[in-house]
Amino acid sequence: MTLYSVPYAGRTGSCTSQERTMFSLKDILDATGGTLCSGTHKMRFSGVSIDSRTVRPKEIFLAIRGQNFDGHDYISQAVGQGAAGVVFSDPAKAPSFRKDVAGVQVPNTVMALGALARYHRERFDIPVIAITGSSGKTTTKEMVAWVLGAKYEVHKNHGTQNNLIGVPLTLLSIHSKHDLCVIEMGTNRKGEIHRLTQIAQPNVGLITNIGPAHLEFLENLKGVYKEKIELVRNLAAPGIALLNKSDIALAKLSRVRTRPIFFYGINRDCEFNATEINYKPDGITFLLNNAHVMEIKHAALHNVSNAMAAIGCGLLFGLDIGTIRERIRTFDSPEMRLKEIRLKDCVVIDDSYNSNPQSLKQAIDVLCRHAPAGRRILVMGDMMELGDKSQEFHVYFGNYISKKPIDLLITMGSCSRWTSESARKCGMRSEAVFHADDCPQVLEFLGAQVRAGDILLVKGSRCMKMERIVGYFKERG
C-alpha cells in the first residue's frame, strides 16, 4: 500500500513552555482589536478563562454572554479570585477596574475568544486535523487521535467541545509538547464552520457524512452540505481533504481536484476501502484495500466507516499498517455513544448523548443485530433541531421501528409521541408501545417491565437527558 505523508508531520512546535502560556496585554489588543480601558501594555497574563469559578490568578477573564448566563455578571467574582484582566463587551456591566487589573472592551467577546485562539494557534507550526459531519464526529475524532497517538503527542477537544467556544478553548490549550491537534467541529447555524476554520486553520479536513441534522437553521440537506463543505473550502496548506465516499453527497466531490482529496468508504472504489465485512459476537472484521484484516470492538457498521477515516489519517501521517491495526483493534467507544453496558440481568446500549435521524437509524440497526436471550427494547427520546421536518421524521421512525424485530418501544417527549402513534398505526402491537411525558414515567415502566436477558437501546437528543435512564440501570446493577 502506498503511504501518504504530510511534509511537516512530527514535532515542530516553535513555542517555548513559557511562551505558550503567556499573553501580554499588547497580544490581547493585537489579536482582538479591542480598546484599552485600563492597564499597561507591559502587563502579562498566564492564560485565558471564561469561567469565574475556576479562573486562576494572573489569568485574563473573558465575559462571555450565552443563552443562559452572562459572564458580565461575574466580572467582580473573577477579579476577586485573582484575574489580572477582563475582556468585556458591555460597558454598562463592567465595573471600574483597579490600576493592577487590565480592562479591554470588544464588540463581541465570543469573537474575541476566537481571535485569541487563532493568535495562539499561529504560534505553533503543527498540523491541525479538523473533523465534521452530521453524525460520528466525536467517535471519529477519538479514533483518529487514538491511532495517531501511537506515534505523536496528540492534542484534541475534550468530549464535544466543538462550537465557537469549545474549539477556541481547545486551541488555547495547545502546548509546545504537542505534535498535532485533532479538532471536532460542530454547527447548527450557517457560517459556523467557516468561522471555526478561520480560527483553527486546519491543514487536513475530514467529513464523516451529510445527513438531516440541525435542520431548524440549516433548513435541508443542501443547507447541511453547504455548511459542512466550508471545511474543505477553507483548509490551510497543504489542504488535504479526507471524505467518506459511501456518502452520496460527498462522493460527488471526487470530480473536484482543486486540492488533494482522498476518499474512504465501505465497498467503494477509493483510496481506503473496506470489504468482506463480517459480524462477530464482540465486533466486526473487515479487509482494508483487499490486503489487511482489521478488527473493531463494536458491532456497528458505521464504526467501520469511522475506522476507515482513522486508518486514512494514520497512513497520511506515516504510521505503519501493523501499528494502525493494533490501535484500531484496541479502540473503545466514547461514553454515551453506542456503549454496551453488561449488567447482571440485562444489557444496556448507551447512545444517550444525542440523536438525529441518521444516527438513530444506525443505532436501531445495531440493536436489531443483537440476538438477546430476552427482548429487544428501544427507549427513544425526542430528536431536536429538525425544524418543520420534526413531525415528518418522528412519524417515519414509527413506521421504520414497526418493521424491525423490536419487542418493546418506549418513547419520551412531545415529539416522540408521533413515533409511538405511528408505530401503532403501522402494525406494532399496542401493548408493545408505551409513551411517557417524562423520565420518572419511563423509569417506573421499565422498572416493572425489564426482565433477565433483555437488551435496551437508550437514545435521544442532548436536552432529553436520556443518561438518567442509563444511570438508573447502572445503579440497579
Beta strand 292-296 with 339-342: parallel, antiparallel or unpaired?
unpaired
Whether residues 414 and 346 fall in one domain: yes
Whether residues 447 and 355 fall in one domain: yes
**Average pLDDT of 27-54?**
95
Asked whether residue 260 is assigned to any structural domain, the reply reads yes
What angle is formed at CA 150 by the lines to CA 146 and CA 156, rounded to 5 degrees? 40
**Average pLDDT of 257-285?**
90
Whole-angstrom distance, CA of residue 73 vs CA of residue 93: 7
Task: State residue 313's pLDDT score.
Answer: 97
Residue 42 pLDDT > 80, yes or no? Answer: yes
95 within 8 A of 76, measured Cβ to Cβ: yes
Among the three residues 87, 111, 135, which one is the final residue of a domain in this structure?
A: 111
Whether residues 203 and 281 fall in one domain: yes
Among the three residues 62, 85, 111, which one is the final residue of a domain in this structure?
A: 111
20 vs 390, residue with greater confidence: 390
Q: Which residue has the cell 465575559?
A: 63
Q: Which of 187, 184, 147 is nearest to 169 (CA)?
A: 184
The CATH number given to whatever domain includes residue 277 is 3.40.1190.10
Task: State residue 477's pLDDT score.
Answer: 75
The CATH number given to whatever domain includes residue 86 is 3.40.1390.10
Q: At a CB cut-off of 8 Å and minimum separation 6, what does 210 contact?
A: 133, 134, 221, 224, 225, 228, 247, 248, 249, 250
Whether residues 143 and 252 fall in one domain: yes
Residue 256 pLDDT > 80, yes or no? Answer: no
Asked whether residue 32 is assigned to any structural domain, the reply reads yes
Task: State residue 19's pLDDT score.
Answer: 42
Asked whether residue 201 is assigned to any structural domain, the reply reads yes
pLDDT range class, residue 157, cuts 50, 70, 90: very high
Asked whether residue 10 is assigned to any structural domain, the reply reads no
Asked whether residue 8 is assigned to any structural domain, the reply reads no
Residue 15 pLDDT > 90, yes or no? Answer: no
Whether residues 347 and 401 fall in one domain: yes
DSSP, collapsed to helix, strand or coil, labels residue 280 as: strand
Task: State residue 221's pLDDT score.
Answer: 80
Whether residues 298 and 214 fall in one domain: yes
* Gyration radius (Cα) of the chain, Å: 24
Residue 8 pLDDT > 60, yes or no? Answer: no
Task: Give residue-wise pLDDT tens across range 61-99.
Answer: 999 998 888 999 999 999 999 999 999 999 999 988 998
The CATH number given to whatever domain includes residue 407 is 3.90.190.20
Asked whether residue 104 is assigned to any structural domain, the reply reads yes
pLDDT range class, residue 412, cuts 50, 70, 90: very high
Q: What percent of the chain has pLDDT over 90?
A: 79
Whether residues 71 and 134 fall in one domain: no
Residue 259 pLDDT > 80, yes or no? Answer: no
Q: What is the mean pLDDT of the chain?
A: 92
**Average pLDDT of 271-298?**
94
**Average pLDDT of 19-31?**
84
Range of the structural domain that residue 66 is part of: 23-111
Whether residues 468 and 353 fall in one domain: yes
Task: State residue 214's pLDDT score.
Answer: 67
Inter-CA distances, 36 with 41, 368, 387, Å: 9, 61, 42
Q: What percent of the chain has pLDDT over 70?
A: 94
Asked whether residue 11 is assigned to any structural domain, the reply reads no
Task: State residue 22's pLDDT score.
Answer: 85
Q: Which of 186-190, 255-259, 322-326 has the lowest mean pLDDT?
A: 255-259
Whether residues 277 and 351 fall in one domain: no
pLDDT range class, residue 20, cuts 50, 70, 90: very low
Residue 160 pLDDT > 80, yes or no? Answer: no
**Average pLDDT of 133-148?**
95
Peptide bond into 107 cis (omega under 30): no
pLDDT range class, residue 213, cuts 50, 70, 90: confident
Whether residues 291 and 357 fall in one domain: no
Task: State residue 282's pLDDT score.
Answer: 82
Whether residues 166 and 266 fall in one domain: yes
137 within 8 A of 213, measured Cβ to Cβ: no
Overall number of domains in the chain: 3
Among the three residues 288, 304, 330, which one is the final residue of a domain in this structure?
A: 330
Asked whether residue 2 is assigned to any structural domain, the reply reads no
Q: In what order do the strands lie in the sheet with 128-132?
A: 154-156, 180-184, 128-132, 204-207, 240-244, 261-266, 272-280, 283-288, 292-296
What angle is formed at CA 168 by the lines to CA 43 and CA 242, rounded to 5 degrees? 145
Task: Give residue-wise pLDDT tens across range 367-397.
Answer: 999 989 999 999 999 999 899 999 999 999 9
Whether residues 344 and 326 fall in one domain: no
